[in-house]
Amino acid sequence: MDLSLTEEQSLIRDTARQFAETELMPVAAQLDQTSDAELLQQQLRKLAELGFMGINIDAQYGGTEAGSVAFSLAITEIAKGCASTAVTTSVTNMVAEVIQAVGSQTQKQRYLPKLCSGEYAAGAFCLTEPAAGSDPAAMKTRAVRDGDSYVLDGGKIFITSAEYAGVFVVWAVTDPAAAKGKGISCFLVEAGTPGLIIGKREEKMGQKASATNEVRFENCRVPAEALMGQENQGFRIAAGELAGGRIGIGSLALGVGLAAIDYARAYIAERQQFGQSLINFQGLQWMLADTYTELEAARLLLMNAACTKERGEAFGSQASMAKLFASEAANKACYTALQLLGGYGYIKEYPLERNARDVRITSIYEGTSEVQRIIIARELMRGL
């Protein structure tokens, strides 16, 4: 097995790394403290100019067409600089990919160039509801056909980038009499559509600069052409795209974990106690060794999932394994890094407390660790 990167993949990784170091790291603390939406959108526009908003999108629609491995590499590097920017980038890529996968030619031509170019600051993925989180098939949002339109009513929660998204991918029940998960359809709703209401911005523990909002649909009328794919076949689309999103979130978690432990390693190399550098103590060396080993294992799982997706093969189980392991390992890495700094790790002047807050959500969104275990176990049982 050849694990070496192509020239293009290396270039994308290095470009993302340079951008994170020069543009994101210097303002990450400011974004965390102020949730400055304009500053975040400035960074997103710069990333779009560099081609990071359509990494796996065909060039004819303005995408980079670099594949899933390049996407994973880029999100990891961006997350080292700023987790809020990374999650916005990841979700926008996911929105673009679902449009490319199942959208009509008209839909692709209308929305993909705007997402890839940065004309749309972001895209939003509207699936989760108050009573339908880990069980999205239980959603209550309805879409009723009315002549040449559909009328949407219902509510979604925890929607990333809703405040400044240009287009929303929305799932709604179109056949309430169908079996659970069988009567759901997928729609594209443009920002500014009457009846599309952006609710309050959630006050979160971490990733504070990334807007997370409630979204409501109140007699929201969209043209019939807003339907993506076939009517009542939308849940299958959601399940497939969530698997790809898990590669993104696992990659984000890896980046935050690496940022934390890299900082801690440099810190203990300089910090003096008992007449010598802390890094000379074997106990701390072993903490580093274990953490870097676990993060390297996470990287390999993510690369395997991304490569499998890129080959066009079923990758759901691999994506769940990668997301599960990477998010759990990154959470552990951040707390290990904070411990290595001792009391300084608990102070906001240092980035570790932000890393620890930012990483916590990675084992929850795009499917909790518990849901990933269910998916993995289901695949194992299917193979019997």
Catalytic residues: 366
Per DSSP, the residues of 288-351 read: HHHHHHHHHHHHHHHHHHHHHHHTTS--HHHHHHHHHHHHHHHHHHHHHHHHHHGGGGGSTTST
> What are the phi and psi torsion angles at 42 (to 5°)?
-60, -45
Dihedrals φ, ψ of 123, to 5°?
-120, 155
> If you search the block for the tokens 């801690």, which residue do you land on?
264
Q: Are 371 and 321 in contact (CB under 8 A)?
A: no
Helices 83-102 and 25-34 cross at an angle (nearest 10°) of 90
Q: How far apart are CA 138 and CA 371, in angstroms?
A: 15
State the Cα–Cα distance between residues 124 and 212, nearest whole angstrom.
Answer: 10
Looking at this protein, which amino acid is placed at residue 268? I
The dihedral through the CA atoms of 351, 356, 359, 361 has a sign that is: negative
What is the rounded CA–CA span in Å between residue 129 and residue 152?
A: 14
Instruction: Assign 211 to helix, strand or coil.
Output: coil
Label residues 150-171 b or e (16+ Cβ within 10 Å = b): bbbbbbbbbbbbbbbbbbbbbb
CA 328 distance to own-chain centroid: 16
Angstrom distance (rounded) from CA 256 to CA 335: 11
Classified as helix, coil or strand, 237 is helix
Token digits of residue 346:
């608990």
